[in-house]
A and B are shown apart, each in its own frame.
Chain A
């Protein structure tokens, strides 16, 4: 089943023509309308008319998250503010987040790519979709919403949380498609089991999941617990949101919506392109976005692209699930967390030594974040209640900074590894390979 068979199954050569046409157009618009790109291209000695083939994209400079942050809030917009109809942000490392702006046409494209993906999952206008992704500045909730609305399905915009209510609605409303992050999905399944929910009474036919790293083992577990297939969704706010790549019924990689997003894989050290099938950093270019076209964005996500024929008939290149990051970003409970954010929070507390270690675990299905902090003479008190309140204070400070709850452990001085070169700040005990 296809949402847009013509685009999705387009012969590769024909698509390349379309991509080149769109690339030339978007590069020209970025050069004309975004001072950042004009300067970048000028500095690199490249002009829009130098793009004569798709390979010529390599002549263009890469764009990083720092570039987007420096353009905060609206410096990357390529249209006048009145044409922007919606804003989203991605979580920031230090200080400002990065802003994503959308025109009406951009929202239309976002809806289109998500509609294609949700159709891959089997969603039709006769179905009910329960969207547990958060609605707000995070793009997860709205991306799914727009796609489902485009199809004409019935959306339950329940967002994350209220787990018992989720289960009640899943049973009573007879939701057919369920969208969640893998860890929340597994948690939801546990609670459903405790509540005595019988799989046979549900009307589920598929699950879409994304926004955090997962393993094949987790997918198997989700499928076993819900008794339906589960499909991967990939996206990032800087480029658009969810909908950049989605999985078809073959469950063998995600189809990149190449008519709207141009993917490349580079070596994150040399920045040179890598041959097909090799693992490296994913770089994405918006081919059709009006409001904020991003050229060659370094996603820092590690994956590989494979141009093999898919049994579903789509001709889009396939991307492996994300197996790592080229920076130190962690996804914890679906939220992007950088060690630098935790450091920033710690530095706000007087007398605290900036020696810390972050330990991420997934004891059952839910992520847990522990931050070990060295106690210092000025922090240490003979009173247990004071030590406990210092611990709480640190926990709250970190919570304010990263948006999720952590468990702080005070450890003895000089017991955490010191920075000799690159400090080992993070111990991620979850396994994603």
Chain B
């Protein structure tokens, strides 16, 4: 149920993000979803790709610092309050959320939120119990 996510360390320097994306493009790796967290002098680029292992390998070959982590993909209704309904399940289970980012799945005409709670397994349990629709990795990698 967990989605593999790549986190890439980027210096806050001109052209660094493009360099990372070039590596992926040259290896024919498509990006499904992404977000970036930035601090003053560095940033963390987070990516969901169909082939996380291969992407990690080619990025590391190019001296990028990569960590593979896990996030949870949850379907949400694309209307006001949609995200709140999901966050409520985590809140009620007393699970802290580190970050999230959301995308629209055009094929299925749905919105997807990617969640990274402090406790990923606990998060999945809470979401399941609450009745949220958790999207399996295959669907995320290939949407």
Residues of A within 8 A of B (CB): 375-377, 380-384, 387-388, 409-415
Contact = CB atoms under 8 A, between A and B. Distances in A.
Contact of A410 (B16, B42, B64, B69): B42
Given A384-B37, A388-B39, A412-B16, A375 B65 contact: yes
B39 A412 contact: no
Max chain A CB contacts within 10 Å: which of B11, B16, B98? B11
A410 B41 contact: yes
User: Chain A: interface secondary structure?
Assistant: loop
A177 B99 CA distance: 58
Interface size range of chain B in the complex: 10 to 19
B9 A380 contact: yes
Given A380-B7, A382-B46, A387-B44, 7 more contacts: A375-B9, A376-B65, A377-B67, A384-B44, A388-B39, A412-B9, A414-B63
Contacts of A377: 65, 67
B98 A411 contact: no
B74 to A, nearest CB: 19
Contacts of A376: 65
Contacts of A414: 63
B41 A382 contact: no
Contacts of B42: 375, 387, 409-411
Interface in B1-54: 5, 7, 9-11, 16, 37, 39, 41-42, 44, 46
Max chain B CB contacts within 10 Å: which of A375, A384, A415? A384
A412 B64 contact: yes
Contact of B11 (A380, A384, A415): A415
A357 to B, nearest CB: 13
Contacts, number: 47
Contact of B69 (A382, A413, A415): A382
User: Chain B: interface secondary structure?
Assistant: strand
A86 B41 CA distance: 46
25 contacts: A375-B65, A376-B65, A377-B67, A380-B7, A380-B65, A380-B67, A381-B67, A382-B5, A382-B67, A382-B69, A387-B42, A387-B44, A388-B39, A410-B9, A410-B11, A410-B42, A411-B42, A412-B9, A412-B11, A412-B16, A412-B65, A413-B63, A413-B64, A413-B65, A415-B11
Contacts of B65: 375-377, 380, 412-413
- What are the 7 A-B residue pairs with the smallest beta carbon separation, nearest first? A382-B7, A414-B63, A382-B69, A380-B65, A409-B41, A384-B37, A412-B11
A277 to B, nearest CB: 46
Contacts of B69: 382
Max chain A CB contacts within 10 Å: which of B7, B9, B42? B9
A172 to B, nearest CB: 41
Contacts of A383: 98
A297 to B, nearest CB: 41
A377 B9 CA distance: 10
A383 to B, nearest CB: 6
A384 B39 CA distance: 8
A376 B42 CA distance: 14
B9 to A, nearest CB: 5
B53 to A, nearest CB: 16
B19 to A, nearest CB: 10
